[in-house]
A and B are shown apart, each in its own frame.
Chain A
Amino acid sequence: MTPVPDLFPALPEIFLALAAMALLMVGVFQRHDATRMVATLSVLALAVTGGLVLFVEGDATVVTFNGLFVVDGFATFMKLLVLLGSALAIIMSLDFIEREHMARFEYPVLIVLATLGMLMMVSANDLIALYMGLELQSLALYVMAAFRRDTLRSSEAGLKYFVLGALSSGMLLYGASMVYGFTGATGFADLAAQLTAADGASIGLVVGIVFVAAGVAFKISAVPFHMWTPDVYEGAPTPVTAFFAVAPKIAAIAMFVRLLVGPFGELVAQWQQIIIVASILSMALGAFAAIAQNNIKRLMAYSSIGHIGYALVGLAAGTDAGVRGVMVYMAIYLAMNVGTFACILCMRVNGRMVEGIEDLSGLSRTNPMMAVALAIFMFSMAGIPPLAGFFGKLYVFMAAVDAGLYTLAVIGVVTSVVSAFYYLRIVKLMYFDDALEPFDRPIGRGMGVILVGTGLFTLFFFVAPASLVGAASRAAATLFAG
């Protein structure tokens, strides 16, 4: 008899999987108006999962399922961010999907299933487990991008995302097979042991790592694997875009960090240059390509590419402080992005969604509260002190400087200044241009709470940065302990 594996560390995932199936049942058997009820229950399930994530966290790193699954401080931190991002995305979507006639109960269920995939990605301790989590997440996301199946743009976004996502999965698998063929191991612990022992990396292994990195870079939309991002972000329904921009990115970058500093930790010299190049290109493209955009969703797509570039600066450092910088950056990114998308979801004129940047003209006179909130997020994204975005950039640049990557840090600062142009252009439109037709009101209570919450977090982060940064340091330390 084989002993049953220790299920306790995977309690959050098991609960979420069962909850997703139960929600499906509720949705199917509750004939009418099931969406709101299923959505509320989904948010509840995500909250309970968050509680369980905290509940199963022990002091030490726990590995279970024959080494496929790991729980440590890093996983706990990132899982909480992912769960928060998903729950907020569901709350933000509710009014929109009912208004735009896409309210079907599968919508929140798909978000829950995607979140399950993300949790599995964050906790993956094996190349196969990593791929399984990634596919579970991606498949749900493809469906969500095409959720408005009657509109051409949404279907196009879904198809594009699917084809390019499948290509990136293929590259990831190819790389993983090279790594396996070369070392004979897929488990991260085995790989780490193996790659320390081997003197230097042979060309086959490097090819494998490059392909794996390229596959993951697709998922986090780092340049030069970013082509799908603007089209998918623009075509997908706006709340889906809001979801895409936050939770999946956090999960993918968590997976990337664990993969590179864990099993490939001894090969820093091999992967560091890849990350540096991807980081510089992402920051530059995010800064320059966004200048010409007039659609706010496209602008946010380029902005998110840029932000991923900044997060990669921390990863390129490859140190404890660098990982801490990435974690803090992603937490702040979550708040800023959720807030901005909450504003975008409120851009409605006479019951019709608008997406142009010009539609924001004179917002300070027609809706001063929203203008203030959006201005806070824009200033923060531009990295202007003392807002939260400044601290996010500060920690990753500090880590890069400590690791001796001066050029990278300088390029980061320069692109940050360039990108300030288009963030501040939005502020200028809102405060100095003539007012257009006002946006519809009221914006809904959930949306208001999210706007105020994320706005206050972004504004007053500098008062007590220590709690978040401290938690991130402790979490990052667990990754380097073993």
Chain B
Amino acid sequence: MIISGLAFYLFSIIAVVAAVMVISARNPVHSVLYLIVVFFNSAALFVLMGAEFLALILVIVYVGAVAVLFLFVVMMLDIDFTELREGFLRYLPIGLVIGLILLVELFVVIGAWAFASDAANQIAAPAPPADQVDNTLALGRLLYTDYAYLFQAAGMILLVAMIGAIVLTLRHRPDTKRQRVAEQVARRPDEVLDVRKVNPGEGI
């Protein structure tokens, strides 16, 4: 009990500190690296909660793909981040005021919160007991049986996203030189080679 409590506070503190560093680091590359630290610690928190599937997905997808993509973008694009951040201090007071207003409103709403009487029994997809199935299996069952329709719909959405990216960005440049493997393979020696007998001292 104590060990898991200590682990929780360790991971949370590191996550929060790293999150602050993400927005305060001067060098954007450092920001992305801090973001990776946040992801790792959040994954550890998920493991503590017993959600090992989410933890691994977080590491694989966010650290493995998204953060690396961020790094690419940050390093490839020539953006002057110090210039972008110039107004930060100037807008801090009004930002704080707006944040405060939102916080107060949240408290007002939550203060008057009343759950419907049997809401707890109505949960659309209740979590199965953890000692019977591990959560990868539970998620898989839900995704591929109950929500198979939504799974397919998500696939169609990704297809549209792919088509959209191609439609909006792909350009056919006629002057680009492309490698045509089929033509290269199909070349025969007698079409491109001309064997001549060269006598000494004469030339062709």
A-to-B contact residues, CB < 8 Å:
2, 5, 10, 17, 21, 24, 65-66, 68-69, 104, 106, 109-110, 113, 116-117, 120, 128-129, 132-133, 135-136, 139-140, 142-143, 146-147, 149, 158, 180, 182-187, 190, 194, 197-198, 202-205, 207
Contacts and interface: CB of A to CB of B under 8 A. Distances in A.
Nearest to A120: B153
Contacts of A2: 145
Contact of B149 (A5, A21, A198): A5
Given A104-B167, A139-B160, A204 B113 contact: yes
A198 B153 contact: no
Interface of B: 109, 112-124, 145-150, 152-154, 156-157, 159-161, 163-164, 166-169
A190 B122 contact: yes
Leading 3 A-B pairs by shortest Cβ distance: A143-B164, A184-B122, A65-B149
A106 B147 contact: no
Contacts, number: 111
Given A182-B116, A202-B113, A128 B163 contact: no
Contacts of A149: 167-169
B150 to A, nearest CB: 6
B116 A183 contact: yes
A204 B109 contact: yes
Contacts of B109: 203-204, 207
A453 B112 CA distance: 57
A129 B149 contact: yes
Nearest to B155: A17
A381 B115 CA distance: 47
A109 B122 CA distance: 40
A75 to B, nearest CB: 15
A198 B117 contact: yes
Secondary structure call for the A interface: helix
A393 to B, nearest CB: 36
Given A146-B168, A183-B116, A202-B114, A113 B163 contact: yes
Contacts of A187: 124
Given A104-B167, A129-B149, A143 B119 contact: no
Contact of A202 (B116, B163, B167): B116
A139 B124 contact: no
Given A113-B159, A116-B156, A194-B122, A143 B168 contact: yes
Contacts of A182: 115-116, 119
Contacts of B148: 5, 65
Contacts of B149: 5, 10, 65-66, 68-69, 129
Contacts of A129: 149-150, 153
B116 A186 contact: no
A70 B19 CA distance: 44
Nearest to A128: B150
13 contacts: A17-B152, A21-B159, A66-B146, A68-B147, A110-B163, A110-B164, A129-B150, A146-B168, A184-B119, A184-B120, A190-B122, A198-B117, A203-B114
A420 B119 CA distance: 50
Contact of B160 (A140, A146, A198, A205): A140
A479 B51 CA distance: 41
B157 A136 contact: yes
Contact of A135 (B145, B152, B157): B157
